[in-house]
Structure 1
Amino acid sequence: MSVAVIADIVGSRTLADRAAAQSVIDDAVLKVERDFPCAERPLQPTVGDELQGVYPTVAAAMSGLLLLRLALPDGIECRYGIGVGATSEVPSRVGALAEGPGWWAAREAIDMVHARQSRAVRGARTWIVAAGGADDHGTHLANAYLLARDQLVSDMSERTRRLTYGRLLGRTQGDLARAEGITQSAVSQALATAGAGALVEGFAQVRIAGTSAVET
């Protein structure tokens, strides 16, 4: 069963250059798909400030969206609603329209993470909802992980996000230091201070799992 993802741009109405921001997001999506292809249909702009994509598993969606968060520069970020459930398409004269419980669940997830971000959990950016409340236990566990993961990323500097992105893809600290023009010890300190090791290990564990407990 495919996993639907809806993304919306945080603070899109206040961006100084909305068109430039969209271009940056599109480039980041392409970068992630080049470095770590994991989507059935990579995120694509739809209407307004939204993007939609489809992933084969929750694990793939969680992995791809973490990389995308890390790939975006300061000042441009998205929220992500992950919906687990059946998806389909409705033909129309302008092309196929996304439909089905998976998309409704993704929409609910976007609303839920937006509410949390607006209140006590300001670093929250990603949430999972299973259509019909399926496997609530697994969904709660996954969301607990996502809350902690998102807070770490939200607190990172742009450079530290780049470094963490590289580490997730297996690049050595020496390679990253050369790319950034800094010392290896500076890379090590930046990663350690930001808690990047937890993200690297979590990313590895999600990949080992292959499929998440919230999938049906």
Structure 2
Amino acid sequence: MSVAVIADIVGSRGLPDRAAAQRALEEAIARVERDVPLAERQLTATVGDELQGVYPSLDAAMAALLLIRLALPDDLDCRFGIGIGAHSDVPSRVGTLAEGPAWWAAREAIDAIHAAQARTIPGARTWVVADAGTAVDVRVANAYLLARDQLVTAMAPRTRRLAYGRILGVTQAELAAAEGITQSAVSQALGVAGVAALVEGYTQLRADPTPSSDV
């Protein structure tokens, strides 16, 4: 089984410089892959504002997408649809085409998060759908993602940078020096934003999986 991810840019039509936004997004994705290489196939632009990628497990996908959201520049954000199931590559004259239930599930997932964001959960950014043939229950994952996304969406740009650093093990003193602020200010920003919960959640995702959690 594979985990397919479809991503798109929030509010892409309203961006003042679409080309610059695309470059910034791709640089953020590349940075995350350098810092914590988790993807089987790195998220790559396909058409319009959409990207597609493949991860070896649901845990890996959720960990990587958290880092990507935190690494994005101030005025840029993305939605992510995660699909669990089989997938295949279809040869084509224009290159390999992604196909299969994992991708159909990812498309359903990103449509679901679009709808949730438009209706009652504006901070939502990530959703998981499992193909019916996988017998994977994703309710716990989605409950976690809704809470996590709300924390990240509410963060100030600096706090996202601080959270990214803490997840990667950068000390508060080092973060304070990089931001030109006091360590006390770093500690306060992290505490108010609930970053400790994000760090612990990420740690759990990166822990050795038990057989029952494998996807």
TM range (shorter): over 0.9
Q: RMSD between aligned alpha carbons?
A: 1.5
Which residues of 2 match residues 189-204 of structure 1 at below 5 A?
189-204=188-203
CA shift at 1:162, angstroms?
0.2
Q: Which has the higher contact order (CA 8 A, sep 6+)?
A: 1
2:82 match: 82
Q: Name the aligned partner's letter for residue 39 of structure 2.
A: A
Which residues of 2 match residues 96-111 of structure 1 at below 5 A?
96-111=96-111
1:185 match: 184
CA shift at 1:29, angstroms?
0.5
CA shift at 1:207, angstroms?
1.1
Which residues of 2 match residues 50-65 of structure 1 at below 5 A?
50-65=50-65
**What do residues 135-181 of structure 1 show as CA deviations (whole Å, max 9, x unaligned)?**
45x30000000000000000000000000000001111111111111
1:164 match: 163
Partner Cα separation in structure 1 for residue 212 and residue 7 of structure 2: 22
Partner Cα separation in structure 2 for residue 116 and residue 196 of structure 1: 24
1:6 match: 6
Partner Cα separation in structure 1 for residue 84 and residue 210 of structure 2: 12
Partner Cα separation in structure 2 for residue 156 and residue 84 of structure 1: 29
CA shift at 1:11, angstroms?
0.8
- Taking a change above 3 Å as real, the CA distance of residues 19 and 198 of structure 1, as seen in their structure-2 partners, is same
* Length-normalised TM-score, structure 1: 0.96
Identity rate, percent: 67
Which residues of 2 match residues 1-216 of structure 1 at below 5 A?
1-132=1-132, 134-135=134-135, 138-210=137-209, 216=215
- Taking a change above 3 Å as real, the CA distance of residues 162 and 143 of structure 1, as seen in their structure-2 partners, is same
CA shift at 1:75, angstroms?
1.7
Which consecutive residues of structure 1, in runs of 5 or more, have no partner in the other structure? none
- Taking a change above 3 Å as real, the CA distance of residues 26 and 211 of structure 1, as seen in their structure-2 partners, is farther
Partner Cα separation in structure 1 for residue 28 and residue 163 of structure 2: 15
- Taking a change above 3 Å as real, the CA distance of residues 213 and 159 of structure 1, as seen in their structure-2 partners, is farther
The 8 Å contact of residues 130 and 214 in structure 1, kept in 2 or not, is answered as no
